[in-house]
Structure 1
Amino acid sequence: MNQLEGGDRTAVSPWNWSGLEGGRVRARPPRVADCTLRDGEQQPGIVFTVDQKVEIARAVAALGVHDLELGTPAVSPDDAEAIRRVVDAGLGVYTSALGRATEADVDLVRSCGVDAVRLSLPISERQRAAKMRLPAGEYVERALRIAGYAKERGLDVIFSPYDTTRCDRTLLEALLDAFRREGCVDRVRLVDTTGAASPQAVAALVGLMDDAGGGIPIEVHCHNDFGLGTANTVAGALAGAAYLSTTINGIGERSGNASLEEVVTAMAVLYGIDVGIDLARLTAVSAIVETASGVRLQPHKAVVGRNAFAHESGLVVAGLLRDPFTAEAYAPELVGQRRRIVVGKTSGRASLEAKVRELVGGDPPDDLDLDALLTGVKAAAIDAGRSLEDDELRALMTTRSKG
């Protein structure tokens, strides 16, 4: 059964498919290629231990992720050891690791036992000039040589011409045409390295790359510098991308990467495209990565944040009590969450009564003065500068009796 079947669980805009009638949405849904253990750890301040990497890999694999990008073995012996440990765990998932476009890095990746090497070679003129001093005329030759070297050693090749969204179109098309002719690459990554592209740009590039490569699968890897990581990834999927690169909680360099939980929920709920992820596990896996990374989620983080399904406003809660979809687009249980009513400055009598019912497990006590309690709640919330915790509300309830 599709995860969204079985009762009213969603209520989204009927306009979501507008303008997409001529798109390239794939007959087979795209797969998720998660890079929490590689790009996620590149966020300043994050250092995963080997054991934490194994735990995260196990949890993410259990979600239904197709491809785990396990790290960059050249970074440190610990990284290489973690990759080997995950591979040895036998999680039943496709595995890959990142390497620079050198024979030595390919050999190191191969020694870790993964299925594929992700060959990283900057393609934009800016990146090549600053990092490689690699002329455009030599780029395709080097890419083919290293890809061929990796294939000869039994590795699948996922080529990552990073800074794709700021590169020269002629060079990108020449690269993909060469890959098509030589048959030495299994997948090509569209990398929005600095998050500098719009959703329209990503969609257009997916189409261009698909045409130039003759159907070589395209993976989109989007950074979140403008807060568009999820939007760009979804746009790529709707344009025909075969793989979606994400991280749990959107962790990653600078402003992070496309958030797995946001991307897969948007695909499932907004477009009805099941990418094979167990949505009900999302919140639990998010918590594992939050603890291991030490990066605390903002309370209003979409999908998995503590307040993603929390409601305080009196007007909002009044409607919510009659029909939850007046305030929510999908049921919180779908992603392993639960709905919460909180009380504070903007609460109304109906929402306060509902919260009291929740706390006492039935009708409010006959001697409880709800109007006086509401006045007290608002005053206490103003003094505290926040909503009230359940224990604080219970304490106020004991002082607001009739009579």
Structure 2
Amino acid sequence: MQFTPENGRWPSPFNTAAELSRLNGRTIRVADCTLRDGEQQAGIVLDRDDKVEIASALEELGVYEIEAGTVASSEEDREAIAAICELGLKAKISVLCRGLEADIDMAAKLGVWGVRLSFPISDIEREYKLKGISEADYIARMLALIDYAASKNLAVVYSPFDTTRANLPFLRKVAAELARREAVDRLRIVDTTGCALPEAIRLIVENVKEAAPGLAMEIHCHNDFGLSCANTLAGVMAGADYVSTTINGIGERCGNASTEEVVMALEVLCGYDTGIQLSRLKEVSELVDRLSGIAVHANKAVVGYNAFRHEAGMVVAGVLKNPYTAESYDPVLVGQKRDILLGKKSGLVSVKYKAEKLGLDLTEAQMAQMLQTIKQEAVRLKRAVTDAEFVALAKAEIQG
């Protein structure tokens, strides 16, 4: 039987149960918010040069929009946003504004394409952040802010944060009013505390689509329960055409949906061409890792150091015959490479592979002895054995 991957990708055939045809003819766009929500992760400080460098990398990656920061954050942030606007990027540049005309004024002066009006919608947020504003007054204030931004020639992404804890009839009313007025570029569904299940995201998006046909939607999910990527995909499958994500998933508390994870899930699992330069994902991840000071954990999906490294003997035996026995896509797609490690879980096939790769002439008996030596050394070191250590151990074995 002949097995052939398609374009370096081999996902589960059961993914068709997700009715992937719903993506046909649609345009899914990445609105990356690494420079805004990403920097909001506790302890991260990105200066002007950092932000310009990351924005340039995101442009080369091919994202549709860059959410460049919060205008009210600091003078340095505003200078960074202005500098990004001056780069003349193809990506649209937007900024986060609170529900204040003063924020909109600052945004207009910076030369951005648009603003993201962040105005809380759930009962708890309205009670404690908007002094218990009524539903009628909320809508009136929302429309006044949108009209004010429009008067400054700014596109508006309306972002009613804590959407996933909103009163659903009220959310439908807000969406219907936005659609009726044709007032905004899109509505952003925000899972502010990362507290929704994928089914909840689907329900919300479908309700908004029903209440406001034609209103474009963006999905912005936090990762407090490790569901941000799944929730973002649920939003897309339900009808959202913009994904709000961050490189490496950095962001408030437990982070946001990861740009690289969402993109590769769409590409590999859904068979959707995002237009993103996939081979640059690892490179951009390393840039954000370095500039943010937040190290990517080793087993991070897509860009992690261990994402395509194999040690267990049974796994390696399959990988060396056909990598798709243990991987669903070729690591080259994302700028990664496959590696075989020698350690406690290794088998003889790994030793043979490494010996051949490193040009070591070992007999069968010597390789069997080397396997035991490697296992003992790995236990002593509490890690895998490096290639240099393997060579040294092998030479000692050969010399007797």
- Tell me the TM-score normalized by structure 2: 0.96
Distance 1:402 1:13 in 2: 49
1:120 correspondence with 2:118? yes
Does the residue aligned with 1:189 lie in a helix, a strand or coil? Answer: strand
Q: 1:19 to 1:57 in 2, by over 3 A?
A: closer
Equivalences for residues 362-401 of structure 1 within 5 A: 364-365=361-362, 369-401=366-398
C-alpha spacing 1:138/1:392, structure 2 compared with 1 (3 Å): same
Which amino acid counterpart does residue 42 of structure 2 have in structure 1? P
Q: Distance in 2 between matches of 1:176 and 1:68?
A: 24
Task: Give the structure 2 partner of residue 207 of structure 1.
Answer: 206
AA in 2 matched with 1:275 = T
CA distance in 2, matches of 1:188, 1:367: 65
Contact 2:318 2:326 in 1 (8 A): yes
CA distance in 2 between partners of 1:26 and 1:193 (Å):
29
Matches of 2:77 and 2:236 in 1, distance apart?
Answer: 30
**Structure 1 residues 8 and 120: alpha-carbon distance in aligned structure 2, compared to 1, 3 A threshold:** closer
Residue by residue, what CA displacement relative to the aligned partner does 1:33-83 show, whole Å, maximum 9, x if unpaired?
Answer: 000000000000100010010000000111110000000111100010000
The structural deviation recorded for 1:131 is: 1.2
Task: Report the equivalent of 2:311.
Answer: 312
Residue 366 (structure 1) shift: 5.3
When residues 84 and 313 of structure 1 are mapped into structure 2, their CA distance, relative to the original with a 3 A threshold, is same
Structure-2 change in CA distance of 1:6 and 1:315 (3 Å): closer
One-letter amino acid of the counterpart of residue 392, structure 1: E
Q: Does 1:54 align with 2:60?
A: no
Cα separation, 1, equivalents of 2:361 and 2:270: 42
Query: Whole-Å Cα distance in 1 between the matches of residues 163 and 355 of structure 2?
Result: 55
Question: Counterpart of 1:399 in 2: which secondary structure?
Answer: helix
Q: SS state of the match for residue 244, structure 2?
A: strand
Measure, in 1, the Cα distance between the counterparts of 2:231 and 2:358. 42
Structure 1 residue 95, shift from structure 2 partner: 0.8
User: What code does the residue aligned with 2:370 have?
Assistant: L
- Matching residue within 10, 17, 33 for 2:31: 33
RMSD: 1.7
Match of 2:254 in 1: 255
Aligned to 1:340: 339
Q: CA deviation at 1:213?
A: 2.1
User: 1:239-295, CA deviations, whole angstroms, 9 ceiling, x for partnerless residues?
Assistant: 111100000000000100000000000100011011111111100000000000000
Are the equivalent residues in 1 in contact too, given 2:29–2:241 (CA < 8 A)? yes
Distance 1:368 1:73 in 2: 68
1:17, CA displacement in angstroms?
2.1
Q: How many residues align?
A: 396
Alpha-carbon contact 1:353-1:364 (below 8 Å) kept: no
Match for residue 91 of structure 2?
93
How many Å apart are 1:359 and its aligned residue? Answer: 2.3
1:187 positional shift: 0.7
Gaps of 5+ in 1: none
Shift in Å at residue 334 of structure 1? 0.8
Q: Are 2:362 and 2:398, in contact at CA under 8 Å, matched by a contact in 1?
A: no
User: Which residue in the other structure is 2:178 paired with?
Assistant: 179
Contact 2:355 / 2:362 at 8 angstroms: preserved in 1?
Answer: no
The SS at the match of 1:99 is strand
Question: Equivalences for 1:3-402 in 2 at 5 Å?
Answer: 9-20=8-19, 24-25=22-23, 27-133=25-131, 134-360=133-359, 364-365=361-362, 369-401=366-398
Letter in 1 for 2:277: D
C-alpha separation in 1, matches of 2:24 and 2:170: 26
Q: 2: CA distance between counterparts of 1:81 and 1:368?
A: 66
For residues 133-187 of structure 1, what are the alpha-carbon distances to aligned partners after superposition, in whole Å with 9 as ceiling and x for unaligned? 1222311111001001101110001000010000001211111111112221111
Counterparts of 1:75 and 1:59, CA distance in 2: 23
* Distance in 1, Cα, partners of 2:281 & 2:264: 9
Rounded to whole Å, the distance in 2 between the matches of 1:194 and 1:24 is 28
Would the alpha carbon gap of residues 392 and 343 (structure 1) be closer, same or farther in structure 2, given more than 3 Å must change?
A: same
> Can you give the 5+ residue segments of structure 2 that lack an aligned partner in the other structure?
none
Whole-Å separation in 1 of the counterparts to 2:16 and 2:362: 50
One-letter code of the match for 2:109? S
Contact 1:367/1:402 (<8 A) preserved? no
TM-score (norm 1): 0.95
Distance in 2 separating the partners of 1:6 and 1:314: 24
Per-residue CA distance 1:102-161 (angstroms, 9 max, x = gap): 111111111111101100000000111111112223111110010011011100010000
Q: Contact (CA 8 Å) 1:250, 1:260: kept in 2 or not?
A: yes
Q: CA 1:26–1:69 in 2, change beyond 3 Å: closer, same or farther?
A: farther
Aligned residue type for 1:293: S
For the 8 Å contact 2:23–2:272, the answer to whether it is kept is no
